[in-house]
Amino acid sequence: AQSVTQLDSQVPVFEEAPVELRCNYSSSVSVYLFWYVQYPNQGLQLLLKYLSGSTLVKGINGFEAEFNKSQTSFHLRKPSVHISDTAEYFCAVSEAGNQFYFGTGTSLTVIP
Amino acid sequence: EADIYQTPRYLVIGTGKKITLECSQTMGHDKMYWYQQDPGMELHLIHYSYGVNSTEKGDLSSESTVSRIRTEHFPLTLESARPSHTSQYLCASSPRWDYEQYFGPGTRLTVT
């Protein structure tokens, strides 16, 4: 089974500053990679996904992520955060598109 | 916005009671999933289904059961609730040939 590591459990950042949320996964076989966002008392919403092709993936709300196969990483970035980006962010991996493995989440807090 | 619904949103129930958590989706998705989510932990897959009359157990051992009699409906049942079942339960669905999961808003269960 896959394992997904999100090293940063909490990330505080000032408004309009850049942010990077880190994600590493265990397997070197072909994988599908995802970032989800969860706002309080809501389910998860897909931010972006990597299935194949360009290693730089753009998602909603100005987020992007870069797939690095050699480092088995899929870090999420945003050049300028807003207060509304405060939420929990989950990285997920799937090998065959059926079962998904999630990280423990990173709580992003944007400070005014 | 995804059309996947969970009821109830919040439930407080006594030990030993039988409960059913409802999950419905109107997107015609073949694949459906149940996850358990605790604070600071990764989402754990407890059940999944690839279609009508198909159900499988996930990685996390669970005392719950599921059924998939209709494509749109994937209820989860606990025959005898215990305090250790206190958690948030998330339902998700996915089209047969896509790898994106759509999540419901979750059911927060408290067993006293």
| Segment A47-86, tens digit of pLDDT | 999 998 899 999 999 999 999 989 999 999 999 999 999 9
Is the pLDDT score of B70 beyond 60?
yes
How far is Cα B97 from Cα B71, in angstroms, rounded to an integer? 16
In this predicted structure, what is the pLDDT of residue A47? Answer: 96
Distance in Å, alpha carbon of B18 to nearest chain A alpha carbon: 24
Cβ-nearest to A49 among B43, B58, B99: B99
Q: Is the pLDDT of residue B18 over 90?
A: yes
- Cross-chain CB nearest to B106 (options A9, A43, A94): A43
The reply to whether residue A43 touches residue B31, judged by beta carbons under 8 angstroms, is no
The whole-number average pLDDT for the span A33-50 is 92
- Supply the mean pLDDT for chain A: 92
B49 - beta bridge partners?
A: B32
Contact present, B110 and B11 (Cβ < 8 Å): yes
Averaged pLDDT for residues B63-74:
95
Q: At A54, give phi and psi (nearest 5°).
A: -55, 135
Q: CA-to-CA distance for B59 and B44, rounded, in angstroms?
A: 7
- Given pLDDT bands bounded at 50, 70 and 90, which one contains residue A97? low
How far apart CA B75 and CA B68 sit, in angstroms, is: 8
Contacts of B44 (CB under 8 A, 6+ apart): B35, B36, B37, B58, B59, B60
Detail the DSSP E strand segments found in chain A: 4-5, 10-14, 19-21, 24-25, 32-38, 44-50, 56-58, 64-68, 73-78, 87-94, 101-102, 106-111
Q: A93 or A99, which is more confident? A: A93
What is the residue whose two structure tokens read 């994937």? B74
Does position B2 have pLDDT exceeding 60, yes or no?
no
Is the pLDDT at A112 greater than 80? The verdict is yes
For residue B1, pLDDT beyond 70? no
- Establish if A32 touches chain B: CB-CB under 8 angstroms: yes
pLDDT of A27 higher than 90: no
